[in-house]
A = this chain, B = another copy of it.
């Protein structure tokens, strides 16, 4: 590509769009087997006898780049993780890009290169894509949408329907890093910090538990954070959830920023953590499996499911209790 900025003509189906796709996307993604001349791409799912799963997610994070990641790698991790927590092994991804006229080509190259690296690391093939260019002022720089297809063993039964009173809630690591990292990267706050996003593929974490007898349910606490996962569990299962504040890992830097600005870290997005619900008898085994992984070193048992009222109660460090309510309005929009 000779241009340094994206123009509307890069989205119109002609020569410039072909150059954008061949020179930038194909090269930067370096995804073997990505054929840009077909209308639909073949999907080879690793386990031919498994159940096929699909998931999709859109990404509008601002700013586009922040410590620990960017919107390109996030668009891979987000969708890989939705398949991972459903117990699936991701096979292929498709990518949609909505680019705002005027975006620097160098920026786009960095984002797409990160996307390709994240996909290779997660073992997922980018099989198809589409690019649209929208007028200056209409696109926030760039939005991505990714759709993932994966396979799960047919006999694996995971879901909220399997959750019972007495089950334990585990979290794989500190919560809120992604939310705070993105927030600090927004110059409007005038704050600097050392917090990097936790964004990563959670496949090592989920696959470590798949053959665990007593594994009920897994979810990655993204938009709305840990508290929203707990609220969803209470709402859907009609059981209560009790969490112990003293057990929930939160980095000191994250706590400080939250105290300063009045945020609750339990509602902040993570992009590389897993909340797992397991039978009481399986909790120790699950935790020790996670502790053996680099990404699970700080995993903790943070609470349990009760047969009380279907709400989430936090037992505070000073011995009190407070409800964690369903999120009404996000303190940090555009976090993913």
Interface hit among A9-17, A112-120, A165-173, A296-304: A9-17
- Provide the residues of chain B in CB contact with A147, threshold 8 Å: 54, 56, 94, 96, 128, 147
Is A310 among interface residues, defined by CB-CB distance under 8 A? no
Interface residues of A in 304-336 (CB under 8 A from B): 326-330, 333-334
Interface hit among A79-87, A103-111, A249-257: A79-87
Interface residues of A in 133-156 (CB under 8 A from B): 133-135, 137-140, 143, 145, 147-150
| A43→B96 contact, CB < 8 A | no
- Provide the residues of chain B in CB contact with A223, threshold 8 Å: 12-13
| A15→B326 contact, CB < 8 A | yes
CB distance from A80 to the nearest CB of B (A): 11
| B11→A333 contact, CB < 8 A | yes
A223 to B12, CA, bound (A): 7
| B43→A52 contact, CB < 8 A | yes
| A13→B58 contact, CB < 8 A | no
Which of B18, B43, B53, B329 lies in contact with A54, CB distance below 8 A? B43
Interface hit among A25-33, A34-42, A276-284: A34-42
A71 to B13, CA, bound (A): 18
- Provide the residues of chain B in CB contact with A138, threshold 8 Å: 137-140
Number of A interface residues in the complex (CB < 8 A): 75
Which of B55, B83, B85, B224 lies in contact with A13, CB distance below 8 A? B224
Is A219 among interface residues, defined by CB-CB distance under 8 A? yes
| A12→B149 contact, CB < 8 A | no
| A55→B82 contact, CB < 8 A | no
Is A295 among interface residues, defined by CB-CB distance under 8 A? no
Is A45 among interface residues, defined by CB-CB distance under 8 A? yes
A222 to B43, CA, bound (A): 24
Interface CB pairs A-B, < 8 A, 14: A13-B327, A14-B224, A18-B326, A38-B86, A38-B159, A40-B82, A40-B86, A41-B54, A41-B55, A42-B53, A43-B54, A57-B130, A134-B334, A147-B147
Of residues A86, A96, A220, A330, which shows the largest number of chain B Cβ atoms within 10 Å of its Cβ? Answer: A96
| B43→A13 contact, CB < 8 A | no
Is A236 among interface residues, defined by CB-CB distance under 8 A? yes
- Provide the residues of chain B in CB contact with A150, threshold 8 Å: 40
Is A69 among interface residues, defined by CB-CB distance under 8 A? no
> 6 shortest A-B CB distances, which residue pairs?
A12-B330, A13-B223, A14-B327, A13-B224, A147-B147, A40-B86
- Provide the residues of chain B in CB contact with A263, threshold 8 Å: none
Which of B133, B160, B220, B224 lies in contact with A37, CB distance below 8 A? B160
Is A228 among interface residues, defined by CB-CB distance under 8 A? yes
Is A205 among interface residues, defined by CB-CB distance under 8 A? no
